[in-house]
Amino acid sequence: MESVISLKNVSKLFYNKKDKKLPEDRRKVWALGGLTLEVNRGEIFGLLGPNGAGKTTAIRCIAGILRPTSGKIFVNGLEVNREQAHKIRRGIGFLSENPGNYENLTLLENLRFFGSFYKLKNLNQRIDDVLEMMGLLNRKNMKAGKLSKGQKQRLAIARTILHDPDILFFDEPTAGLDPVASVKVRNLILRLKRNDRTIFINSHNLEEVQKVCDRVAILDLGKLNRLGTPDELGRQLWDSQEIVFTLREPVSPKIETLLSSLKYIKQYNVKNNQLFIYTEDINETTPEIIKELVKLDANILEVNKTVHSLEDIYLKLMDEESLNIN
Amino acid sequence: MDFQHSWNIYRKDWKTSVKRKEVLGVMIFLPAIMGIGMPILMLIGILVDPTGFLESFGDPDLLKILYNIPPHYNDALAAATIMMKMFVLPMFLFIPVLLPVIISSDSFAGEKERKTMESLLYLPITKTELLIGKVLASFLPSMIISVSIFFVMGIVVNIMFIPHLAGNLLLFGDLTAMLIGLLMSPSWALLNIQIGVIISSRARDLKSAQSIGGALITPVLGIFFIAIFSPTFLNIITVLIISGGLLILWIIFVYIGNRVLDPEKLIVLA
């Protein structure tokens, strides 16, 4: 896998110069504290964390707007520094938390302005294409300020993808969008991934992140708390996973004896015709258990795997963190 | 350095400014009243009673000597020339400095207030390109308006005084006036804009940027009153010296601007 974004031990200190009454240690805020991570080409990478975790600071450092206090950042092999930051930004699309559109300019004027920095061959055609993609073509000559909140967000997304960048940063991409528009944006993100684009998503919408992201990093107080696929994170946090078998008949003692003998089963519970089985890796053990049950002539009506959602993972991590703080 | 990037910033800023009616109104009507309306009213008064105008300042002959009026000028032409030097020329010093305050104070503070600063900083531009674009956005419109008004006023005054001109030209025939209109005013405007843009980049909001930017006009007001009360103050030499000094100061502030413009501060304060 080729890494396109690489953060090496990146720290960012904000120093409050104005409030001189604050004690020295409280005037220093570490927004990032030695963050190291790599994002691969063609990957959708989710950055999660509570407010103030350092997600936006990380994106701003990658864009070269904020200078890290220490550490190095590389994008497409180029080090992000004062001399190269603007060159690196040519191949990146940024969607910031605020839509950032010019409200008294029309949609066309907004996109012409932003597109004019990328030397696009057929800018007008490209503007029509992205407006069409975002369902805004019929509002092309309307002032951006007259759009609804969701439409403003869609215009901002159109601006972000206008120059067809290799790397995209989406900060809360579906904020303010209705469910239909949210699905469209999700599909757009997945389509961009199919075209080998690398996408970095910063979001509080865990369901959305789970649906689109290949890997996620969870930040807390500027530090990397967890990194991996949602499945990997689930396995890191829970030592066993649950499978529920529903049988036609109540669970027989024969079946219970079998379950006790299977070494990969950590624990099981029986409730009438339902079996609750806990194993380390449900993907590997489920077919095995089914085979064994069929051998004992058990009539299996239903098998349900309990997969820990990203929300479960996130909440568990945040709970642990608050316990650590307390 | 890609000048096209600065030009794109300028065009966007100008477009957003002209779409704000209050800005466009101030940019056009204020200089039109100050540079054309008020002088025309005074010139009408001169045409009606030129001798009265000259006598209102005391000894007319002394006044003509002080303002270096050629002896063959009749009273109307002499009074119009004095009036140009006394009120109109300082006005053309004042207008190009006053106008950019409206746009330059908005340059960065307005972007912060309207929450567009971040999308601007994510563009593939250098801070120098951004700074130049912002300076151009204030300088070009102000100069176009000021120079247009200067020429409109020149044409109007010459038409009004056709019967008295006798081969002479008012305003356009005066090298000092031309230097003030085309060199000193732009230099002053440039310096003022440069400082205004720097202030705007450091200000927390538009109001504070405007009030600090407005205070920058004070030295110009000083020159304005010196010019009114000291007839010989604005001559070719003083105009050249002041213009040169202003341009040197502008170059110093370009350097300072580049040093102090910090995207980090723009975004953190936004």
Q: Which residue has the tokens 């066993």?
A: A240
B123 contacts A105? CB cut-off 8 A: no
More confident residue, B4 or B222: B4
CA nearest to B121, candidates A54, A91, A152, A66: A66
pLDDT for B196 equals: 80
Q: Best of A32, A114, A149 to disrupt the B interface by mutation (most B CBs within 10 Å)? A: A114
Query: Averaged over B177-186, what is the pLDDT?
Result: 84
**What are A245-298's pLDDT values in tens digits?**
999 988 888 888 888 888 888 888 888 889 888 888 778 888 888 998 898 888
Least confident of A17-21, A169-173, B35-39: A17-21
pLDDT digits (tens, 9 = 90+) for B6-19: 999 999 988 888 88
Q: Are residues A215 and A283 in the same domain?
A: no
Rounded mean pLDDT of A134-162?
91
Q: Which H helix or E strand runs over A168?
A: strand A167-171
The closest alpha carbon to B264, from A32, A61, A83, A160, belongs to A61
Specify which residues A11 forms β-bridges with. A70
At B68, list the tokens: 């270096």
Residue B134: inside a domain: yes
CATH number of the domain that residue A271 is part of: 3.30.70.100
pLDDT of residue B207: 67
Average pLDDT score over residue span B172-180: 80
Segment A116-123 mean pLDDT: 90
pLDDT in the model for residue A124: 92
Kindly state whether residues A122 and A245 are assigned to the same domain.
Answer: no
Percent share of chain A, pLDDT over 70: 97
In the block, residue with structure tokens 């215009």? A155
Query: Chain B residue with minimal CA distance to A88?
Result: B124
Instruction: Work out how many domains chain B is built from and give that number.
Output: 1
The Cα-based distances of B142 to B36, B149, B231 in angstroms read 16, 11, 27
State yes or no: pLDDT of B270 exceeds 50. Answer: no
| pLDDT at residue B257 greater than cutoff 60 | yes
Indicate if A69 and A201 belong to the same structural domain.
yes
**How close B108 comes to chain A (CA, Å)?**
14
Tell me the pLDDT band of A319, cut-offs 50, 70 and 90.
Answer: confident
Mean pLDDT of all residues belonging to chain A: 86
* Residue of chain A nearest B121, judged by CA positions: A65
State both tokens at A44: 């959708």
pLDDT value at residue A162: 93
Q: Which tens digits make up the pLDDT trace of B142-160?
A: 888 888 888 888 898 888 8
**Tell me, what's the pLDDT at A93?**
92
Please give the residue range of the domain that contains residue A139.
3-234
Lowest-confidence pick of A12-16, A41-45, A165-169: A12-16
Q: What tens digit of pLDDT does each residue of B212-245 get?
A: 666 666 666 666 666 665 666 778 888 899 899 9
Please give the residue range of the domain that contains residue B247: 3-35+84-160+171-269
**Amino acid B2: pLDDT:** 83
CB pair distance less than 8 Å for B122 and A63: yes
Better-scored residue on pLDDT, B90 or A116: A116
Cβ contacts from A onto B, under 8 A: 70
Same domain, A257 and A202: no
Interface residues of B toward A, Cβ cutoff 8 Å, are 4-5, 8, 11-12, 15-16, 19-20, 114-126, 263-264, 267-268
Nearest residue of chain B to residue A89 (CA atoms): B124
User: Domains in chain A: how many in total?
Assistant: 2
Q: How many CB atoms lie within 10 A of CB A70?
A: 12
DSSP labels for A31-81?
EEEEEEEEEETT-EEEEE-STTSSHHHHHHHHHTSS--SEEEEEETTEE-S
pLDDT of residue A326: 47
Report the relative pairing of strands A241-247 and A215-220 from DSSP bridges: unpaired
> How far apart (Å, rounded) are the C-alpha atoms in residues A307 and A195?
29
What pLDDT sits at residue A111? Answer: 95
Q: Is the residue at A312 inside a domain?
A: no
Same domain, A224 and A261: no
- Residue A127's pLDDT is 95
Q: Tell me the C-alpha distance between A121 and A83, whole Å.
A: 26
Looking at the structure, do residues A215 and A300 belong to the same domain, yes or no? no
| Confidence band, pLDDT 50/70/90 cuts, at residue A7 | very high
CB contact under 8 A, B264 and A66: yes
Beta bridge pairs of residue A92 = A167
Task: Check CB contact under 8 Å for B12 and A118.
Answer: no
pLDDT the model gives residue B221:
65
Q: Which amino acid is at A117?
A: F
Nearest to B124 among A100, A109, A117 (CB): A117
Tell me which residue of B131, B110, B105, B137 sits closest to B212, measured CA to CA.
Answer: B105
Which residue in chain A is spatially nearest to B129 when comparing CA positions? A86
The alpha carbons of chain A give a radius of gyration, in whole angstroms, of 25
Residues of A in contact with B263 (CB under 8 A): 65-66
Contact A116 B120 (CB under 8 A): no
* Beta carbons of A86 and B124 less than 8 Å apart: yes
In the listed set A234, A252, A283, which residue is the last one of a domain according to the structure?
A234
A323 is a domain residue: no
Is the pLDDT at A237 greater than 80? The verdict is no
pLDDT of residue A71: 93
- The answer to ipTM > 0.85 is no
Tokens 């300088």: give the residue.
Answer: B139
Query: Is residue B185 included in any domain, yes or no?
Result: yes
* pLDDT at position A156: 92
Which member of B16, B123, B125 has the closest CB to residue A102?
B16
Tell me the C-alpha distance between A238 and A233, whole Å: 9
Taking the C-alpha atoms of residue B70 and residue A13, their distance in angstroms, rounded to an integer, is 70
**CATH code of residue A71:** 3.40.50.300
- B203 within 8 A of B115, measured Cβ to Cβ: no
CB contact under 8 A, A117 and B5: yes
pLDDT for res B232: 67
